[in-house]
């Protein structure tokens, strides 16, 4: 088996950590048990480009239990857990191409390596796999049934490919499932981003001015958790509706220009480029900490920052000190890459349980229904979303009410008024 990982000797450690994660993934475990019996993915080759974490390992093993041949590479150069990569190779016989800290060329060479399995399904997180395939390996497109996409940024890229009529096969937008983004983006990013910032810096959040750039589901989650830790949270936004919501949620809302003078800690989660720029860095307080938890490392203008920097040094792992031309120091966490995955372990297993249940059931859906799908971006079928919510509730021992016949009739009628 061909693979490229850091160190095979880390496999035992990875196996135990994967087991630990699995204990908080009851929905995926139920799916895995069924897949084991029914083999709905028999003979289906799946190329995955996902963060190589304990939770992703559970997904890969589930797909394999369903009969799929899988190969995986990283969806971010800094998010790979090397012990997990080793365990997947040594204990699960799954080809992995991922090393934490890999450079840009290695990152793309790993994407090319997973494409060598000639995928029938692609499973992407950010759409780098799909975009590499469409730009360099078009010959593979005819044998692809469909793909799935895990994250907001990837779905945006894929929708623009579909709009431009260049998308070569159908995609299911896993991100847009309610059981994905309401939970993973909000509670997962919320907790793991704070976790990453704290692990990287060991700074106290209580009493600090914490600037959250972007008030989508991820920004809402981080703002809420930062407030819970006692920070004074400031939101920057471009969307009037989201800004209004942030105001009514009780946050200070202001342009970056103003927030730049106030913040102690910054975190970008916008999905857009250069949210914090040269002019903002120059206004910052001495010792300001800047981080990103949006998908790509483009939200902080690090090239601009370098231009106004006199001296740089790593002061501790994941913390780079930039001494600016104005004499002030700014600290950049995790090279401006997803701080929750670079310095911490990504979203907790319990929330990835639902995200990856969506991935597994979407792969099964593709295997069954690809013949009826066009070259478009599809939502996860509503029925799958509801089934996952129900399974999650059941696994938590929570029962809910059912509509009575009278209530069902009332909801479907229009005659009954006051
Ligand atoms: N994205 C965010 N957190 C993750 C995790 N723990 N595993 C895989 N992908 C993730």
What residues are paired with 180 via a beta bridge? none
Verify whether ligand 1 is closer than 6 Å to residue 51 (CB atom): yes
**Ligand 1 site-directed mutation target among 192, 196, 221, 354, most atoms within 8 Å of CB:** 192
Residues 21 and 138 placed together within one structural domain of the fold: yes
pLDDT band at 415; cut points 50, 70, 90: confident
How close is the Cα of 188 to the center of ligand 1, in Å? 8
Answer whether residue 388 is part of any domain: yes
Verify whether ligand 1 is closer than 6 Å to residue 339 (CB atom): no
Mean pLDDT, residues 375-388: 97
**Ligand 1 site-directed mutation target among 352, 354, 359, 360, most atoms within 8 Å of CB:** 352
Residues 108 and 22 placed together within one structural domain of the fold: yes
Verify whether ligand 1 is closer than 6 Å to residue 54 (CB atom): no
Verify whether ligand 1 is closer than 6 Å to residue 175 (CB atom): no
Domains identified in the chain, total number: 2
For the chain, what percent of residues have pLDDT higher than 70? 100
How close is the Cα of 33 to the center of ligand 1, in Å? 22
Is the separation of the CB atoms in 91 and 65 below 8 Å?
no
Verify whether ligand 1 is closer than 6 Å to residue 346 (CB atom): yes
**Distance (Å, whole) CA 227 – CA 175:** 26
- The tens digit of pLDDT for each residue in 130-184 reads 999 999 999 999 999 999 999 999 999 999 999 999 999 999 999 999 999 999 9
How close is the Cα of 413 to the center of ligand 1, in Å? 44
Mean pLDDT of the chain: 97
The 3-class SS string of 58-94 reads: HHHHHHHHCCCEEEEEECCCCCCCHHHHHHHHHHHCC
Is the separation of the CB atoms in 168 and 138 below 8 Å?
yes
Residues 305 and 387 placed together within one structural domain of the fold: no
Instruction: Kindly report the CATH number assigned to the domain that includes residue 18.
Output: 3.40.50.1480
Is the separation of the CB atoms in 231 and 205 below 8 Å?
yes
Answer whether residue 380 is part of any domain: yes
Give the pLDDT score at 417: 83
343: its two tokens = 């310095």
Strand ranges of the sheet holding 377-379, from the earlier edge strand across to the other edge: 96-97, 69-74, 45-50, 121-124, 146-149, 171-173, 377-379
Residues 6 or more apart whose Cβ sits within 8 Å of residue 308: 278, 281, 282, 324, 325, 326
Verify whether ligand 1 is closer than 6 Å to residue 17 (CB atom): no
**Distance (Å, whole) CA 80 – CA 6:** 10
Verify whether ligand 1 is closer than 6 Å to residue 55 (CB atom): yes
Domain boundary among 308, 325, 342: 342
Ligand 1 atom closest to the Cα of residue 338 is: 2
Strand ranges of the sheet holding 309-316, from the earlier edge strand across to the other edge: 252-253, 232-236, 209-213, 265-268, 288-292, 329-333, 319-324, 309-316
The residue among 74, 37, 33, 23 whose CA lies nearest residue 53 is 74
Answer whether residue 418 is part of any domain: no
93: its two tokens = 């016989």
pLDDT band at 312; cut points 50, 70, 90: very high
Model confidence, pTM: 0.95
The residue among 275, 197, 269, 263 whose CA lies nearest residue 229 is 197
Characterize 305-322 residue by residue with b for buried, 16 or more Cβ atoms within 10 angstroms of its Cβ, and e for exposed.
beeebeeeeeeeebbbbb
Residues 28 and 115 placed together within one structural domain of the fold: yes
Answer whether residue 122 is part of any domain: yes
Answer whether residue 1 is part of any domain: no
Q: Whose CA is nearest to atom 8 of ligand 1?
A: 51
How close is the Cα of 112 to the center of ligand 1, in Å? 22
Give the pLDDT score at 142: 97
Residues 112 and 226 placed together within one structural domain of the fold: no
Verify whether ligand 1 is closer than 6 Å to residue 53 (CB atom): yes
Verify whether ligand 1 is closer than 6 Å to residue 260 (CB atom): no
**Distance (Å, whole) CA 319 – CA 333:** 5
Residues 175 and 39 placed together within one structural domain of the fold: yes
Is the separation of the CB atoms in 23 and 98 below 8 Å?
no
- The tens digit of pLDDT for each residue in 199-247 reads 999 999 999 999 999 999 999 999 999 999 999 999 999 999 999 999 9
pLDDT band at 1; cut points 50, 70, 90: confident
Q: Whose CA is nearest to atom 9 of ligand 1?
A: 51
Is the separation of the CB atoms in 156 and 126 below 8 Å?
no
How close is the Cα of 54 to the center of ligand 1, in Å? 9
* Phi, psi of 417, rounded to the nearest 5 degrees: -115, -135
2: its two tokens = 């061909």
- The tens digit of pLDDT for each residue in 117-131 reads 999 999 999 999 999
Answer whether residue 328 is part of any domain: yes
Residues 361 and 374 placed together within one structural domain of the fold: yes
Residues 197 and 325 placed together within one structural domain of the fold: yes
- The tens digit of pLDDT for each residue in 16-70 reads 999 999 999 999 999 999 999 999 999 999 999 999 999 999 999 999 999 999 9
Domain boundary among 342, 363, 381: 342
Q: Which domain holds residue 356?
A: 8-180+347-395
Residues 78 and 54 placed together within one structural domain of the fold: yes
Domain boundary among 299, 319, 342: 342
**Distance (Å, whole) CA 277 – CA 282:** 9
**Distance (Å, whole) CA 303 – CA 326:** 17
How close is the Cα of 352 to the center of ligand 1, in Å? 7
Q: Is the dihedral of CA 292, 296, 299, 302 positive or negative?
A: positive
- The tens digit of pLDDT for each residue in 44-54 reads 999 999 999 99
Verify whether ligand 1 is closer than 6 Å to residue 150 (CB atom): no
Verify whether ligand 1 is closer than 6 Å to residue 208 (CB atom): no
Longest distance between any two alpha carbons in the chain, whole Å: 73
Asked whether residue 416 carries a pLDDT value surpassing 90, the answer given is no
Mean pLDDT, residues 365-387: 97
Characterize 375-402 residue by residue with b for buried, 16 or more Cβ atoms within 10 angstroms of its Cβ, and e for exposed.
eebbebeeebbebbbebbeebeeeeeee
Asked whether residue 372 carries a pLDDT value surpassing 90, the answer given is yes
The alpha carbon of 7 is separated from its chain's Cα centroid by a whole number of angstroms, namely 25
**Ligand 1 site-directed mutation target among 88, 149, 355, most atoms within 8 Å of CB:** 355
The residue among 244, 76, 231 whose CA lies nearest residue 151 is 76
Give the pLDDT score at 254: 98
**Ligand 1 site-directed mutation target among 79, 195, 343, most atoms within 8 Å of CB:** 79
Residues 389 and 337 placed together within one structural domain of the fold: no
Verify whether ligand 1 is closer than 6 Å to residue 56 (CB atom): yes
Residues 175 and 62 placed together within one structural domain of the fold: yes
Answer whether residue 413 is part of any domain: no
Answer whether residue 2 is part of any domain: no
Residues 195 and 72 placed together within one structural domain of the fold: no
Instruction: Kindly report the CATH number assigned to the domain that includes residue 226.
Output: 3.40.50.720
């Amino acid at each position: 088996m061909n693979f490229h990982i850091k160190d095979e000797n880390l496999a035992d450690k990875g196996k135990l950590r994967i087991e630990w994660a699995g204990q908080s993934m009851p929905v995926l475990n139920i799916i895995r048990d069924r897949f084991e019996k029914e083999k709905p993915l028999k003979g289906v080759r799946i190329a995955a480009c996902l963060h190589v974490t304990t939770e992703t390992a559970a997904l890969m093993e589930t797909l394999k239990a369903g009969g799929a041949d899988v190969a995986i590479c990283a969806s971010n150069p800094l998010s790979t857990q090397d012990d997990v990569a080793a365990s997947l190779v040594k204990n699960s016989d799954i080809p992995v191409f991922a090393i934490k800290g890999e450079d840009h060329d290695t990152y793309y060479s790993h994407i090319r390596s997973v494409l060598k399995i000639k995928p029938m399904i692609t499973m992407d997180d950010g759409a780098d796999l799909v975009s590499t395939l469409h730009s360099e390996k078009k010959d593979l497109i005819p044998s692809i049934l469909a793909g799935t996409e895990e994250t907001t940024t990837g779905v945006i890229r894929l929708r623009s490919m579909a709009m431009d009529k260049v998308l070569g096969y159908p995609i299911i937008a896993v991100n847009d499932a309610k059981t994905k983004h309401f939970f993973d983006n909000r509670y997962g990013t919320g907790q793991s981003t704070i976790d990453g910032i704290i692990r990287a810096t060991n700074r106290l959040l209580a009493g600090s001015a914490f600037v959250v750039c972007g008030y989508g589901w991820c920004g809402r989650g981080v703002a809420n958790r930062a407030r819970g830790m006692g920070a004074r949270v400031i939101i920057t936004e471009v969307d009037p509706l989201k800004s209004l919501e942030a105001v009514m949620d009780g946050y200070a809302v202001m342009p970056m220009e103003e927030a730049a003078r106030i913040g102690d800690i910054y975190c970008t989660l916008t999905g857009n480029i250069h949210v914090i720029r040269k002019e903002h860095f120059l206004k910052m307080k001495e010792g300001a900490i800047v981080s990103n938890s949006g998908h790509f490392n483009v939200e902080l203008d690090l090239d601009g920052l370098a231009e106004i920097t006199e001296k740089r040094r790593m002061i501790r792992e994941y913390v780079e000190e930039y001494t600016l031309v104005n004499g002030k120091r700014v600290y950049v966490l995790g090279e401006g890459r997803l701080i929750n995955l670079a310095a911490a372990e990504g979203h907790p297993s319990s929330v990835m349980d639902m995200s990856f249940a969506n991935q597994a059931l979407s792969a099964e859906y593709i295997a069954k229904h690809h013949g009826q799908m066009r070259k478009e971006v599809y939502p996860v079928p509503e029925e799958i979303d509801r089934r996952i919510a129900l399974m999650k509730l059941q696994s938590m021992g929570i029962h809910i009410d059912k509509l009575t016949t009278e209530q069902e009739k009332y909801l479907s009628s229009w005659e009954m008024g006051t």
